[in-house]
Structure 1
Amino acid sequence: MSFLKKLTVLSLATVLLVSTASLVEAKSNLKGKITINGSTALLPLTLQAKKEFNKLNPGVSIAASGKGSVTGPQAVKKGIAEIGACDWDASIDVPGFKAFDGQVANKVAVIPFAAVVNKNVTVSNLTTAQLQGIFTGKITNWKEVGGADADIVVINRSFGSGTRVNFIMKALGGTDTVKKSSNYKEVGSSGDMKTNVATTPNAIGYLDLVYVNSDFKAIKINDVEASAENVINGKYKVWAYGYYMTKGQPTGATKAFIEYVQSKDFQQGSLKKMKFIPVAAMK
């Protein structure tokens, strides 16, 4: 290689290094504090995004927790959180919940939900009508839907859960669940649902796909498997957008964090690996 070519290559490398260093320096100068409350369905995504964002922006402190979707916009309204993670657009009225005025819904993910059962349950498919019967207490034994002669144990999410709102609207056709005096339990988070279905024989519940593992099993609804592919192709209907609610348009570190979650790199990378679906896939 000639001296002139070597000099050119060295000059280009220097420019790239300086440019990269400047970019890292600019990102590392971002400072702020972000508190995120709300959806436990979105919590794994939030925690992963926090981990990646903090590597690029160590000057931003992020605290994230999940207690159910409704607590997200409530925390934003009270001023104790900058972001309220919610499994519905809380800026408009939805069944059971009034709109949170003045809040902006920032769309960050597509969340597929699944009906899940304990591993000892032999049933692998349920129709909408059968699900309605089970969650309203009209169907109480697995033999009524083709399974073994065993009482069905219903595990439900408590009121205020976005997963519950979406499961009722999209898997149960709007038919609300009914508490039963026996073989019925309510839990406060996706993690609690996961544990209870996995450890309770003959149990049925529901979760978003990110929590589904080999400790229990997801079942088909109307002969359609709960999968990202089936959501995208329109065959599977039990899904929802996940939102980061903010008081007005986000600014500063909050804006930067939301934009990171919405970025192509995160949407096509970590988000997809976690069984969420990129927002752009539904356009």
Structure 2
Amino acid sequence: MKKKLLVATVLSLSLFLAGCAKWVDKGESITAVGSSALQPLVESVAEEFQSNNPGKFINVQGGGSGTGLSQVQAGAVEIGNSDLFAQEKSGIDADKLEDNRVAVVGITPIVNSKVGVKTISLENLRKIFTGEITNWKELGGADTPVVLLNRASGSGTRATFEKWVMDGQETKQAQEQDSSGMVRQIVGDTAGAISYVAFSYVTKDVQTLAIANVKPTEENVMTNKWIIWSYEHMYTQKNPDPLTREFIDYILSDEIQENLVPKLGYIPVSKMKVERDWQGNLIN
């Protein structure tokens, strides 16, 4: 009896593995890697897509925009998620990739809630990140040393922040983190801390900073009144495989763009009142 049961179990397992192999052979599993700012949206869409399409799997990982672009260019993954245009990243041939803009994300400076400052000039924000301003009392806040926290060098969030805030100046060397979620946690727990995250990562655990009394809101991003924002790209190889195309089309569908995208703190591209090229110039 035990021998028959063992044979039956082995047979069932073999059939299951064979089925999995067939899914893989059919291209029923793809991987999306890159931007942590875009990761929550891609993960949520992947869950819905898999629920509606049994047997199709979307693996979503972070690692930063630079990783996403280099991995998709190398053919190591099917989708490279990026806060940057491929043209902005050294070593990436944008002509060999297909750009799918799936959303817009605002990026905001965040601080520990006890710093005592709610708005700041762009110049003073820059001075904080160059190390010229070292205590919040210099800005009328608490007598607390500034604690800088940066994203890692491959981060698209960091590149976007530096592009619009730093004006070509070097950011002071500081602690770096790969994860936006970890950045938020550290800022919330550390007296005097400041960093920056996508709007979708802002929670009550941290305080956002207005710039020259302009608040980091979706409405201000849509009109470019708030200038620290970027497109969220999902890059693929030219002529992607059917499952990759199906998933990209799904995230661009009206259902996802009108409901899930804004629910998760992103802005549908269709809602933007302005458009930028890869160099940051307004083109309408």
Please give the TM-score of this superposition, normalised by the length of structure 2: 0.83
Name the count of aligned residue pairs: 247
* SS state at 2:50 partner: helix
Alignment match, 2:118? 124
Does the CA-based 8 Å contact 2:145-2:192 persist in structure 1?
A: yes
Within the candidate set 160, 163, 173, 1:169 is matched to 163
Q: Which residue type is aligned with residue 77 of structure 1? A: Q
Q: 1:82 aligns with which of 75, 78, 82?
A: 78
Q: Deviations over 1:199-219 (max 9, x none)?
A: 111100000011100011111
- Asked whether the 8 Å contact 2:69–2:92 carries over to 1, the reply is no
Q: 1:226 aligns with which of 213, 216, 231?
A: 216
Give the match for residue 196 of structure 2. Answer: 206
Q: How do 1:92-171 residues align onto structure 2 when only pairs under 5 Å count?
A: 92=87, 94=88, 97-101=90-94, 102-171=96-165
In structure 1, what is the Cα distance between the partners aligned to 2:54 and 2:168? 44
- Percent identity between the two aligned chains: 38
Q: 1:234 to 1:81 in 2, by over 3 A?
A: same
Q: For residues 225 and 249 of structure 2, what CA distance do their matches in structure 1 show?
A: 30
Give the 5 Å matches for 1:19-38. Answer: 32-38=28-34
Q: d(CA) in 2 for partners of 1:235 and 1:175?
A: 23
**1:150 partner letter:** T
Q: Output the amino acid matched with 2:137.
A: K
1:239 aligned onto 2:229: yes
Q: Is the 8 A contact 1:169 1:175 kept in 2?
A: no
Alignment of 1:253 with 2:247, yes or no, is no
SS in 2 for 1:64: strand
- Residues 184-232 of structure 1 deviation map (CA, whole Å, 9 limit, x = unaligned): 3111111121111111111000000111000111110121111111111
Q: SS of 1:235's equivalent?
A: coil
How far off its partner does 1:106 sit?
A: 1.0
1:56 maps to 52
Q: Secondary structure at the match of 2:256?
A: helix
Shift, 1:49, TM fit: 0.5
Q: What secondary structure does 2:80 align onto?
A: strand
Whether contact under 8 Å (2:144, 2:191) holds in the other structure is no
**Structure 2 residue matching 1:114: 3-state secondary structure:** strand
Distance in 1 of aligned mates of 2:74 and 2:179: 22
Deviation of 1:87 after TM superposition, in Å, equals 0.3
Counterpart secondary structure, 1:65? strand
Distance, in Å, in 2 between the alignment partners of 1:135 and 1:278 is 30
Instruction: Give yes or no for contact 1:117–1:205 (8 Å, CA) kept in 2.
Output: yes
Give the aligned residue type for 1:99. Answer: I
CA distance in 2, matches of 1:31, 1:81: 12
Gaps in structure 1 of 5+ consecutive residues: 1-29
Contact 1:31–1:59, Cα closer than 8 Å, also in 2: no
Once residues 36 and 224 of structure 1 are traced to their aligned partners in structure 2, the CA distance between those partners, rounded to angstroms, is: 34
Q: Deviations over 1:91-145 (max 9, x none)?
A: x1x2x63433411211111010010001111100111100110101111111111
How far residue 31 of structure 1 moved from its aligned partner, in angstroms, is: 6.1
Offset at residue 234 of structure 1 (A): 2.7
Deviates more, 1:122-131 or 1:165-174: 165-174
Contact 2:35 2:155 in 1 (8 A): yes
- Per-residue deviation at 1:172? 2.8
Give 3-state SS (helix, strand or coil) of 1:66's partner: strand
Q: Deviations over 1:32-77 (max 9, x none)?
A: 1110110000000011100111122112111111011100011112
Name the CA distance, whole Å, in 1 between partners of 2:35 and 2:264: 16
| 2:58 is aligned with 1:68 | no
Q: Is the 8 A contact 2:35 2:83 kept in 1?
A: yes
